């Protein structure tokens, strides 16, 4: 290095190291998720998906009532997945699986021919502060990604106790080119822990065009 030249700052070096560490961690996470999905889904597998499965109460009940349906639940909190797995084991359900995963990451690592038959989204985080609305799951980009892995007639079942979030979800689904709202009843009535705590809630169903 010539006199007067300055090397990279310590902050820059630290940022680059943290970025590289994050990318490596994400690569490992994607590879692990691909391996888990390969062991669960056949190449052309069709499945029922619950995003934010919590302790697995709803999907365990659904899987028991629909033994021919392959059911996958995901959540981002490990303790919830561990409790859901124990619930599944006690029920002895071979058609039910729970995975630690974020929704968009899950969609990105699905086998190419895998198809979603239905999506259940029950009481997701409403991110009530306006500056946090971008973190809400029900966004056009998420609906685009689901539509790519869904066949005609696939349903999205959405339920929340947060009225502003319900209205946003209703708007984004009613204006999305791949989905239309339908006046249908839910295929499985289960009062989850979140639902028991809610003073009231609202639900909707959207169908893949």
Active site residue 14: no
What confidence tier does 23 reach under pLDDT thresholds 50, 70, 90?
A: confident
Model pLDDT for residues 172-201, shown as the tens digit of each residue: 999 999 999 999 998 887 777 667 777 789
86 token code pair: 């124990």
**At 113, phi and psi to the nearest 5?**
-95, 0
Greatest CA span in the chain, whole angstroms? 75
pLDDT at 163: 96
Pairing of strands 202-208, 46-51: unpaired
Name the catalytic one among 68, 125, 161, 183. Answer: 125
Burial class (CB in 10 A: 0-12, 13-18, 19+), 12: exposed
What confidence tier does 6 reach under pLDDT thresholds 50, 70, 90?
A: low
Q: What is the number of alpha carbons within 13 Å of residue 93 lying toward its C-beta?
A: 27
Mean of per-residue pLDDT scores for the chain: 91
Query: Other C-beta atoms within 10 Å of 40: how many?
Result: 15
193 token code pair: 């822990």
Question: Average pLDDT in the 7-28 region?
Answer: 75
147 token code pair: 């539509």
Model pLDDT for residues 51-97, shown as the tens digit of each residue: 999 999 999 999 999 999 999 999 999 999 999 999 999 999 999 99
pLDDT at 1: 54
pLDDT at 22: 66
pLDDT at 7: 64
């Amino acid at each position: 290095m010539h006199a007067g030249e300055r090397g990279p700052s310590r902050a820059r070096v630290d940022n680059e190291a943290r970025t590289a560490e994050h990318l490596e961690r994400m690569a490992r996470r994607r590879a692990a998720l691909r391996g888990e999905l390969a062991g669960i889904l056949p190449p052309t597998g069709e499945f029922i998906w619950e995003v934010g499965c919590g302790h697995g109460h709803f999907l365990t009940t659904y899987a028991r009532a629909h033994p021919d349906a392959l059911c996958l639940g995901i959540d981002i909190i490990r303790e919830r997945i561990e409790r859901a797995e124990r619930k599944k084991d006690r029920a002895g359900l071979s058609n039910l699986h729970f995975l630690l995963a974020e929704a968009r990451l899950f969609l990105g690592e699905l086998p190419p021919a895998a198809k979603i038959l239905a999506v259940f989204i029950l009481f997701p985080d409403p991110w009530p502060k306006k500056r946090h609305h971008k973190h809400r799951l029900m966004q056009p980009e998420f609906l685009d990604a689901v539509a790519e892995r869904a066949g005609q007639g696939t349903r999205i079942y959405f339920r929340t106790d947060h009225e502003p979030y319900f209205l946003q979800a209703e708007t984004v689904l009613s204006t999305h080119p791949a989905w239309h709202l339908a006046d249908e009843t839910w295929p499985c009535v289960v009062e989850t822990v979140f639902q028991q705590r809610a003073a009231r809630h609202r639900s909707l169903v959207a169908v893949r065009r």
